[in-house]
A and B are shown apart, each in its own frame.
Chain A
Amino acid sequence: MAPPANLLQGTLDLLILKTLTLGEKHGVAIARRIEQVTRGTFVVKPGSLFPALHRMEEAGWLTSSWGESDNNRRARYYQLTRAGRQQLKTETQEWGRISVAIAAALRG
């Protein structure tokens, strides 16, 4: 496994928002899902994950509530708000623009 890449802050937000489009999840599940969809490229440590989740919740993009995990553990579940979906849309477009630009620059 290649060493996990550094996560730019904007990237982490984007990945979290995207992950939560599938429905509410608790912190570890979000991290695992990101790891899984990026095929292990991004490993999200709790030390980065939780500050990001709290920041995004305060920005109004997420809401959270207590729930039960699959093996009956109490866990904090996060879900997208309408503003969060809007934010995902904006950030996705932004990301598209940047990746095209970077790719072009690297090809140049």
Chain B
Amino acid sequence: MIWTSRLASLWRNLVHRGRSERDLDDEVRACAAILEDENVARGLPPEEARRQALIEMGGMEQVKEDVRAVRMGARLETVGQDVRYGVRTLARTPGFTTAAVLALALGIGATTAIFSVVDAVLLRPLPYVHPHRLAVVLTRGTGPVAPGNFLDWRRDATSFEAMGAAEAWGTNLGGNDRPERVDGVRLTSDIFPLLGVPPQLGRTFSSEEEQPGHTRVVVLGHRLWQRRFGGDAGVVGRSITLDGEPHVVIGVMPRGFEFPPFWATGAELWAPLPLAERAGSRNGQSLRIFARLAPGATLERARAEMATITGRLESEYPGTNRNVVVRTLDDIVVGDVRSALLVLLGAVAFVLLIACANVAHMLLARAAARRKEVALRAALGASRARVIQQLLTESVVLAAMGGAAGVALAAAVLRVLIAISPGNLPRLETAGLDPRVLAVTVVVSLATGVAFGLVPALQASRFDLSGALHDGERGSTVGAERHRLRRFLMASELALALVLLVGAGLMVRTFVALRRFDPGFDPRRVASAVMSLTGSRSEEPARRLAFYREVLERVRAVPGVASASAINHLPLAGDVWGFPFQVEGRPPAKPGESPSAAFRVVLPGYFQTMGLPLVRGRDFTEDDRLDAPGTIIVNEWLAERFWPGADPIGKRLTLDDLDRNPEWLTVVGVTRNAARGKWAAAPDEEMYLPLLQSHLYLERKGGPFSYLTLVVRTSTDDPAAVAPSLRSAVWSVDGNVAVSEVQTMEEVVARATASPRFYLLLLGSFAAAALALAALGIYGVMSYSVARRRNEIGIRMALGARPADVMQLVMGEAIAVAAAGGAVGLVAAVLMTRLMGGLLYGVAATDPLTFAGVCAILTMVALAATYVPARRAVGVDPLKALRAE
């Protein structure tokens, strides 16, 4: 009640200022008139009556001013005055203002841009209902789960109110003249209700639609709906062709809906996942399991319950229920990038701190020049608090200008960030300068203004009147203290810059190490394209091999193509399937404990085309057919592990349950270790099977077995020029085969190393900005120091000091401060670079070379920034300096 009346007054005073001013004026006039009436009634003549009334009033303006002073928001009005005054003062010194605003814009802009990324990727909740209650059940980190296990877990686990499975699904969307390869996901019907996001149009699927034989249905993503169907609401109920089969569109999801948020991201359509036929399978692991915690259940309880359930299943079906992990969806989505982003946010905060320190320098120098103004205000009766308020307001105005410029800068930086991002930052494209981010920017700007303005304001307001009015600050204690403060700021800038430089230096070393990494194959002059035969005539087992041969023949005829072959999963870009095997002569492994290796299927000529040398034995030939003895090629790592010191050629192994099983496959060749899914990861076992001997790849229809990646090596240095002709070569054989991921191997490699390049670029820019700001700071402090010591230097020179002595004097001071800052920085860097562990490759977080190099750079920059002021000191004319006394 009281509060509402106060707020109403505040509103009236600030917003309806005109009206409340008029009311006040009327009221005061009415009072004067009444007093005048009284005087007239007392018998005074009219002139005298008015005069007396005005005397009693005590000045109408004064009364009004007194009323204004007690009103709500009176304080705000003085702030308004201070802001206007601050703007005028800043406008009078455009050089200072521009420099300070630029430094702040740099700090605030970079901070805003990085914060908006952190906000989009880490802080904003996933676009589902109560996303923090969502969990993921996987094996070994992010590994998939077999259908039999999922169905048992779903039946038995009570800590989850719902559990559903998802399986990656690529499909050929027909309709236009060429089929388009579209990424989708198959889901059990539990998933959509579990996420809690209703469709924008139509409905999602029911459990009946999961049954085999039911009409095929599909739910479209918003992007696909816009791109291929022009956002037509009539698409619901219409039939579309996927993999050559009709599917009925039953719903469209709203804009911004994405699922899954990790693995198989970029899915644009969702179809039911029929599990009935695979219900008993505990080996074919292809599902990712999503679940919602039951009301009241905790993650710990869910983990304990899953441990019990999997323990029981493991004893029933040995080897099938190990290493099952329950993680929150949040954790799995951002877990990998969290530390990297926090490092970036920390780095950018350092840049902001350095910018603050720099502006604080400038303000200190300015405060010295404004001592007379401040003293005058004090002499005219301004209290210290009032002077501080005014000076702080000026700092905040400065910070606000820096913030405004910073937002413009952030918008530009953000565009660049999104363009160069490595693609592993989920939801980065949603980052923007939305109100939430801008609110943070405003708070950061204001805090910045107070941070760099407070100490200079406290200092400046500690005037000593007589001193200020007739002396410079030479010799005064305030001056000495202020100078200590400047040296402290200079040392802190150096310390902060050193930490950033070390971070950037470590990224440079990481990047160099990554560039030097040998992927085993030669990515230059190689282009590739994925052919997906699903739903086409060429998928028929009778035609499939003929199709591949025909395509290769046409591709080889393309000018500039030196050789061509194909593989199921391209290294670095494609999937990696692990497959269990047994080695001849070794005791059979217990269920679930077989060794496994990456499973690659190739056509003859792949190794030559890829530039992946065979270190022993031979490549597959056209003679390694279904009717010939089974052959296999392994990598050095596998050979080393299972036949150490022996010749692996002629050794045999068998795949646990693949086609032609049980059959011994004879090792005919050994290749170098090739980079697999991740650049610069440690090598792992890998095996290559001839496609010509694979029933799966020759005969199995649908799903992952009817697609293959075409690989060509060109005779020119421009494989990108050949890439388009891959598409036309495929379509000249069968126009219903979808062609996707047409790219050069160098692009694939660039993408695999995009993440460190991104962090290097950002940390490098921050470090460069920090170094520049720190150099400016040192230059400013030393120039000031020289100016302040003019008299002293003059006396020393008059007494016979040589220029070298003066240089030593000035540089000595700088070196002492720089050394102190550097020492603190080194300790901080050792402590903080440990947080970068996950970003580094091939270099220790405390790499001595990096630390030494950074120290050298910083020393050089500090000396260079000191040299100019020191030269100036040497140029001091002793006579002039002493006369100025």
Contact = CB atoms under 8 A, between A and B. Distances in A.
B26 A59 contact: no
Given A54-B71, A59-B6, A60-B2, A69 B62 contact: no
A58 B6 contact: yes
A47 B60 CA distance: 8
B34 A45 contact: no
Contacts of B37: 71, 73
Contact of B35 (A28, A47, A52): A28
A26 interface: yes
B443 interface: no
Interface in B800-852: none
B653 interface: no
A85 interface: no
B2 A75 contact: no
A51 B5 contact: no
A71 B66 CA distance: 28
Interface in B61-100: 62-63, 66-67, 69-72
A31 B34 CA distance: 12
A76 B63 contact: no
B25 to A, nearest CB: 11
Nearest to B60: A46
Interface in A42-79: 45-47, 50-52, 54-55, 57-60, 69, 71, 73-76
Contacts of B28: 46, 50
Contacts of A55: 70-71
Given A47-B62, A51-B67, A73-B33, A58 B27 contact: no
Interface of A is mostly: helix
A60 B9 CA distance: 9
18 contacts: A26-B34, A45-B58, A47-B59, A47-B62, A50-B27, A51-B63, A52-B70, A54-B70, A55-B70, A57-B9, A58-B5, A59-B2, A69-B34, A73-B33, A73-B37, A75-B27, A76-B27, A76-B30
A25 to B, nearest CB: 12
A83 interface: yes
A54 B23 CA distance: 12
Given A46-B57, A55-B70, A71-B37, A27 B31 contact: yes
Contacts of B66: 47, 50-51
Given A26-B34, A47-B63, A51-B67, A74 B58 contact: no
B1 interface: yes
Nearest to A59: B2
B56 interface: yes
Interface of B: 1-2, 4-6, 9, 23, 26-28, 30-31, 33-35, 37-38, 56-59, 62-63, 66-67, 69-72
B9 to A, nearest CB: 4
3 pairs of A and B residues whose beta carbons are closest in the complex: A60-B5, A58-B9, A47-B58
Given A26-B34, A27-B31, A83 B1 contact: yes
Contacts of B26: 74, 76
B2 A51 contact: no
Nearest to A72: B37
Contact of B34 (A52, A75, A83): A75
Given A59-B2, A76-B23, 8 more contacts: A46-B57, A47-B58, A51-B66, A52-B70, A60-B6, A73-B37, A74-B30, A75-B31
A27 B38 CA distance: 14
A17 B401 CA distance: 48
A46 B58 contact: yes
A51 B9 CA distance: 14
A51 B31 contact: no
Q: Which of A46, A57, A59 has the largest number of chain B CB atoms within 10 A?
A: A46
Contacts of A45: 56-58
A83 B5 CA distance: 11
Q: Which of A47, A74, A75, A83 has the largest number of chain B CB atoms within 10 A?
A: A47
Contacts of A59: 2, 5-6
A46 B30 contact: no
A83 B27 contact: no
A28 B67 contact: no
Nearest to B73: A58
Nearest to B6: A58
Contacts of B38: 28
A45 B58 CA distance: 8
B11 to A, nearest CB: 11
A71 B37 CA distance: 8
B57 A73 contact: no
Nearest to A74: B30
B59 to A, nearest CB: 8
B364 to A, nearest CB: 40
A27 B27 contact: yes
Nearest to A52: B70
A51 B69 contact: yes
Nearest to A29: B34
Contacts of B30: 26, 69, 73-76
Contacts of B57: 45-47
A58 B34 contact: no
A68 to B, nearest CB: 11
Q: Which of A55, A58, A59 has the largest number of chain B CB atoms within 10 A?
A: A58
A64 B541 CA distance: 95
Contacts of A52: 70
Contacts of B63: 46-47, 50-51
Contacts of B72: 58
Nearest to B23: A76
Nearest to B38: A28
Nearest to B59: A47
A46 B1 contact: no
B275 to A, nearest CB: 68
Contacts of A69: 30, 34
Contacts of B1: 60, 83
B300 to A, nearest CB: 52
B93 to A, nearest CB: 39
A27 B23 CA distance: 14
A75 B38 CA distance: 14
A68 B2 CA distance: 28
A73 B30 CA distance: 7
